[in-house]
Amino acid sequence: MSRSPTSRLDFSTYDTAGFFDELVDETGKPRPGAELLVEKLQSLEFDELLRRQAGAERSLFRLGITFAVYGDTKGKEKIFPFDIIPRIVPSHEWEWLERGLKQRIQALNQFIDDIYHDQEILNDGIIPRDIVLGAASYRKLCQGMNPPRGIWCHITGTDLIRGADGQIHVLEDNLRCPSGVSYVLQNRLVMKRSFPQIFAASHVKPVVDYPGQLLRTLQHLAPDGLPNPTVVVLSPGSFNSAYYEHSFLAQQMGVELVQGSDLVVHDGFVNMRTTAGLKRVDVIYRRIDDDFLDPKAFRADSMLGVPGLMGVYRAGRIALANAPGTGIADDKVIYTYVDKIVRYYLAEDMIIPNVPTYMCWERKQREYVLQNLDKLVVKAANESGGYGMLIGPHSTTSEQEKFAGLVKANPRNYIAQPTLSLSRVPTIVGDDVEGRHVDLRPYILYGKDIFVLPGGLTRVALKKGSLVVNSSQGGGSKDTWVIEQS
């Protein structure tokens, strides 16, 4: 049924389908903070809404937020899908989230530092020793390392989801090379042009100072007394899918974007090869995984890293953000112990709960999982991107049997979670507006202080009914507005 271009949206007929909608409740009444936006959306002719959406897409093209379709010699580029209807977070909820995120990152930072020093949390039996030391992300080489100021996870992206009951949970901590913040910044730029009036009237917390905060966080890591530390962004290069972000952040901070081959260790320091000779580097914001950082320390076949980098790092003559070794806290198995970690280091209860998770290496929980495979999502600890995962309700009996075998063979490698009814946000779909599932990734910078970017990246599963928000599998993004409430 085709919608008339001059018709208007009416949220009283909008179907929330039993999911928590971020903008309106089940009767179509706007949630706190969303009043102005919903009013505006209902006042526009649908055609106008589509025009604004098209305008936003054009802006993104012009700004160059494109993926090259690599391998396509025609050189075509396309944008990361974006929808102009934002997600709204009222400030009181945001304050609670901010407290929770700061608490979490402080505890995780102490955890990482402890693991790579005296391992007191293991000695006290809070977490089984072999769970941590046997994890693929544990880096023995980092044992005893002392990163500047004792900070290991400088830049974190924590994935949050909200269930049908309205409760927000942490789904995952991303402490290695979290990406997506460039989309947050560019989406916001585009949104200001799409809805200038309501944006102004809504008192949305700004995100524009992220690059400045990031630079300050990085400069904070430089050795004391250095008046003008040289900061660089280390990228695998233009063939990497996140290259746009590496380039964007380097440009916004006004620092050099380098590849491994541009750096060389000389005389105990890391240097850049420039047309005026070698120039010393003090802080590296590295967007390369641990494994590829240094062929002399990690994977010998890495062409992306800098030979000898870890030697300079150990000697304290270069700062790396994030520190190598943080992956230990980015592990799905460790995730299940975060509440214990918070209590151990901070003597506090975890503010933002995890998603309820079953640990397959505990006998009773494993039995429950094996009996309920058709209802649960089972994940392998060391995989990502949907691999090594069983989505119970969508699986066949034979798939479940196969997974049961895997879990029994290596229980320490598996966790299980109930399928989640992610919250939704109204999204333009064809000639209508429908709810689509979202998650939220705020970005946290740990420098002199802990800074949480207000809002973050709302990723949206554009396919109807889909819960998969990854860009590689039909995901897109929305802007996130943290609304100052009077």
Partner 1 sequence: MLSRVADSIYWMSRYVERAENLARFVDVTFNMMLDLPPGSAGQWQPLVSATGEHEWFDEHYGEPTQENVVRFLTFDPDYPNSILCCLQAARENARSVRETISSEMWEDLNSFYLLVMDEASSSDSLQSPQDFFHEVKNASYRFKGMTDGTMPHGEPWHFARLGRYIERADKTSRILDVKYFLLLPELSDVGTAFDDLQWSAVLRSVSGLEMFRKRHHGITPERVVGFLILDRMFPRSIMYCVNEADQSLHAISGSPLGTFWNPAEKQMGKLRSELAYAHVDDDIIEVGLHEFLDAFQTKLNRIGEAIYEAFMAVDSTKVNGSRLQMQSQGFM
Using the rule CB under 8 A, is 473 a contact of partner 1? no
CA–CA distance, 174 with 156 (Å, rounded to integer): 6
C-alpha distance from residue 271 to each of 111, 278, 320 (Å): 32, 6, 14
Residues near 79 by beta carbon (within 8 Å), at least 6 away in sequence: 57, 60, 61, 65, 66, 67
Residues 26-55 that bind partner 1 (CB under 8 A): none
Among 251, 410, 470, 473, binds partner 1 (CB under 8 A): 251
Size of the site for partner 1 (CB under 8 A): 29
Write out the two tokens for 300.
Answer: 């010998």
Using the rule CB under 8 A, is 1 a contact of partner 1? no
Using the rule CB under 8 A, is 419 a contact of partner 1? no
Among 277, 385, 393, 465, binds partner 1 (CB under 8 A): 277
- Specify the residue, 163 or 237, whose C-beta has the smaller distance to partner 1: 237
Which region among 88-96, 192-200, 211-219, 251-259 touches partner 1 (by CB under 8 A)?
A: 251-259
CA–CA distance, 248 with 188 (Å, rounded to integer): 15
Q: Are 152 and 325 in contact (CB under 8 A)?
A: yes
For tokens 């903070």, the residue is 33
Rg over alpha carbons for the chain, rounded to the nearest Å, is 23
Using the rule CB under 8 A, is 238 a contact of partner 1? yes
Using the rule CB under 8 A, is 274 a contact of partner 1? yes
Using the rule CB under 8 A, is 264 a contact of partner 1? yes
- Specify the residue, 5 or 64, whose C-beta has the smaller distance to partner 1: 64
- Specify the residue, 134 or 223, whose C-beta has the smaller distance to partner 1: 223
Using the rule CB under 8 A, is 259 a contact of partner 1? yes
Using the rule CB under 8 A, is 228 a contact of partner 1? no
C-alpha distance from residue 444 to each of 99, 137, 154, 313, 452 (Å): 11, 21, 8, 23, 4
Using the rule CB under 8 A, is 398 a contact of partner 1? no
CA–CA distance, 270 with 123 (Å, rounded to integer): 37
Q: How far is the CB of 275 from partner 1 (least distance, A)?
A: 4
Q: How far is the CB of 283 from partner 1 (least distance, A)?
A: 17
Which region among 67-75, 160-168, 365-373, 459-467 touches partner 1 (by CB under 8 A)?
A: 67-75
Using the rule CB under 8 A, is 256 a contact of partner 1? yes
Among 279, 375, 394, 402, binds partner 1 (CB under 8 A): 279
CA–CA distance, 86 with 479 (Å, rounded to integer): 5
Among 51, 192, 216, 280, binds partner 1 (CB under 8 A): 280
- Specify the residue, 55 or 237, whose C-beta has the smaller distance to partner 1: 237
Which region among 152-160, 274-282, 314-322, 331-339 touches partner 1 (by CB under 8 A)?
A: 274-282
Amino acid at 279: K
Among 267, 300, 387, 396, binds partner 1 (CB under 8 A): 267
Using the rule CB under 8 A, is 237 a contact of partner 1? yes
For tokens 């590496």, the residue is 246
Using the rule CB under 8 A, is 289 a contact of partner 1? no
Using the rule CB under 8 A, is 254 a contact of partner 1? no
Which region among 69-77, 178-186, 381-389, 419-427 touches partner 1 (by CB under 8 A)?
A: 69-77
Which region among 152-160, 269-277, 333-341, 466-474 touches partner 1 (by CB under 8 A)?
A: 269-277
Give the sign of the dihedral formed by CA 345, CA 351, CA 354, CA 358. Answer: positive
Q: How far is the CB of 249 from partner 1 (least distance, A)?
A: 11
Residues near 361 by beta carbon (within 8 Å), at least 6 away in sequence: 128, 131, 333, 411, 412, 414
- Specify the residue, 33 or 260, whose C-beta has the smaller distance to partner 1: 260
Using the rule CB under 8 A, is 229 a contact of partner 1? no
Among 73, 197, 396, 398, binds partner 1 (CB under 8 A): 73
- Specify the residue, 280 or 463, whose C-beta has the smaller distance to partner 1: 280
Long-range contacts of 219-228 (CB under 8 A, 24+ apart): 219/283, 220/148, 220/149, 220/447, 220/448, 221/147, 221/148, 221/149, 221/151, 221/154, 221/283, 221/319, 221/321, 221/447, 222/148, 222/282, 222/283, 222/319, 223/148, 223/282, 223/316, 223/317, 223/319, 226/282
Using the rule CB under 8 A, is 261 a contact of partner 1? yes
Q: How far is the CB of 362 from partner 1 (least distance, A)?
A: 50
Q: How far is the CB of 250 from partner 1 (least distance, A)?
A: 7
- Specify the residue, 275 or 397, whose C-beta has the smaller distance to partner 1: 275
CA–CA distance, 198 with 38 (Å, rounded to integer): 10
CA–CA distance, 246 with 304 (Å, rounded to integer): 15
Residues that bind partner 1 (CB under 8 A): 64, 68, 73-75, 237-238, 247, 250-251, 256-259, 261-262, 264, 266-267, 271-280
